Amino acid sequence: MTKKPLILLAGPTAVGKTESSIALAKALNGEIISADSMQVYRGLDVGSAKITKEEMQGVPHYLIDILDPREEFHVMAFQSLAREAAEDIWSREKVPIVTGGTGFYIQSLLYGVEFSADVDQEYRDSLWKLCDEKGPEELHRMLAEVDPETAENLSANNVKRVIRSLEFYHVNQMPISEHNRVERERTSPYDFKYFVLTMDREKLYERIGLRVDLMMKAGLLDEVKALKEQGSMPEDTAMQGIGYKEILHHLNDPENYPLDLAVEDIKKNTRHFAKRQLTWFRREKEVIWVDKDSFADQDALIQYLIGESKKIL
């Protein structure tokens, strides 16, 4: 049976995936599935660097603005919705282009990763209680003891992911990193090209700093204020995102956590996040690394992506 084609365009935050994905989609008769854990939320526009209608240039996008901020979003939901979107795109003889920086989401779709449905609610509740009493660093320390690889790739502030990883170990007596390693050995049911954009690290960090400054000028503070007034809480998945958790912390405790410190933390945490993203992608197989600095300009980069993609179309 002929495998269906799938294009994946990934990379760290601020590397320039949006611009490249639009050009690629227009050239290949493609439609875009977002693999971003924050852009799914309505009202999280500035801090997620959400693509605008104008930037879409008429290219249909999926998995953007589909949830309210209080709703939970996780990899299993992404996998299901992304599969549904891809089938819809193929049914109209178009090409699905998965774009984003959430490597685990991309892996789950590309290789059909299976997830344990086992839940220990009592254990999960006890971890949340421990977090309230001793802080997220204690949970992160616990994870580092049983699964150092996952702990290395998770911020202590990503409490929900840390708790899910601890719960997975508790239920399965197996680190989730080991589970992921096994799942990586799966064969993809798709004929795919998996591009990962990269660039000089210092240039990337400069772009991150500039992006955060632009977000503040564009109204990130007011955006988080509005979300707070609508009932968003620090424990909500949406408020775990970089930029949102720091500004919300500032709003809840402005005397001890001034705005300038929050902004510096956003930049620092985004740099750390970009580093973790790159670490994840380096472990993936069958990835085509695309160093933007090696191309004369954006047009040359796009022509390369188009040429490689057409090999499976």
What is the structure's pLDDT at 169? 87
Higher-confidence residue of 112 and 209: namely: 209
Whether 173 and 78 share a structural domain? no
Q: What angle do CA 141, 245, 14 make, to 5 degrees?
A: 95
Higher-confidence residue of 170 and 33: namely: 33
Q: CB count, 10 Å around CB of 38?
A: 23
Per-residue pLDDT tens for 240-293?
A: 899 999 999 999 999 999 999 999 999 999 999 999 999 999 988 899 999 999
The one-letter code for the residue type at 2 is T
Per-residue pLDDT tens for 119-159?
A: 778 888 898 889 888 988 999 999 999 999 989 888 887 88
Q: Please check the confidence at residue 1 and state whether its pLDDT lies above 70.
A: no
Cα separation, 106 vs 120, whole angstroms: 26
Does 14 map to a domain? Answer: yes
- CB contact at 8 A, 227 and 67: no
For residue 27, the enclosing domain spans 4-113+188-215+278-312
Whether 72 and 12 share a structural domain? yes
What is the structure's pLDDT at 310? 97
Does 147 map to a domain? Answer: yes
Does 89 map to a domain? Answer: yes
φ/ψ of 27, rounded to 5, equals: -80, -25
Does 272 map to a domain? Answer: no
Average pLDDT, the chain: 93
Q: Please check the confidence at residue 50 and state whether its pLDDT lies above 90.
A: yes
Does 208 map to a domain? Answer: yes
Helix (H, G, I), strand (E, B) or coil at 144: helix
CATH code, domain carrying 105: 3.40.50.300
What is the structure's pLDDT at 117? 60
Pairing of strands 95-100, 4-10: parallel
Highest mean pLDDT among 163-167, 168-172, 308-312: 308-312
What is the structure's pLDDT at 74? 87
Higher-confidence residue of 183 and 267: namely: 267
Residues with Cβ within 8 Å of 114's Cβ and at least 6 positions away in sequence, in order, are 183
Whether 167 and 73 share a structural domain? no
Does 15 map to a domain? Answer: yes
List the beta strands (DSSP E) in the chain.
4-10, 30-34, 61-62, 95-100, 190-198, 287-291
Q: CB count, 10 Å around CB of 116?
A: 12
Whether 59 and 140 share a structural domain? no
- Please state the domain count of the chain: 2
Cα separation, 46 vs 217, whole angstroms: 10
Q: Please check the confidence at residue 25 and state whether its pLDDT lies above 90.
A: yes
Whether 20 and 94 share a structural domain? yes
Quickly list H helices, 97-219.
103-111, 121-134, 136-146, 148-152, 159-172, 176-184, 201-218
Q: How many CA atoms does the CB half-sphere of 36 hold within 13 Å?
A: 33
% of the chain at pLDDT higher than 70? 98
Cα separation, 97 vs 9, whole angstroms: 7
- The domain boundary, picked from 180, 205, 230, lies at 180
What is the structure's pLDDT at 294? 97
Whether 175 and 292 share a structural domain? no
pTM: 0.85
First-residue to last-residue Cα distance in the chain: 15
CATH code, domain carrying 135: 1.10.20.140
- The domain boundary, picked from 180, 204, 228, lies at 180
Whether 127 and 50 share a structural domain? no
- What is the average pLDDT across 44-59? 96
Q: Please check the confidence at residue 163 and state whether its pLDDT lies above 70.
A: yes
Whether 44 and 89 share a structural domain? yes
φ/ψ of 92, rounded to 5, equals: -105, 20
Q: Please check the confidence at residue 205 and state whether its pLDDT lies above 80.
A: yes
Instruction: Output the CA–CA distances (angstroms, integers) from residue 122 to 2, 72, 129, 146, in the order listed.
Output: 46, 19, 11, 19
- What is the average pLDDT across 41-62? 96
Whether 64 and 138 share a structural domain? no
The one-letter code for the residue type at 82 is A
Higher-confidence residue of 240 and 305: namely: 305
Whether 192 and 171 share a structural domain? no
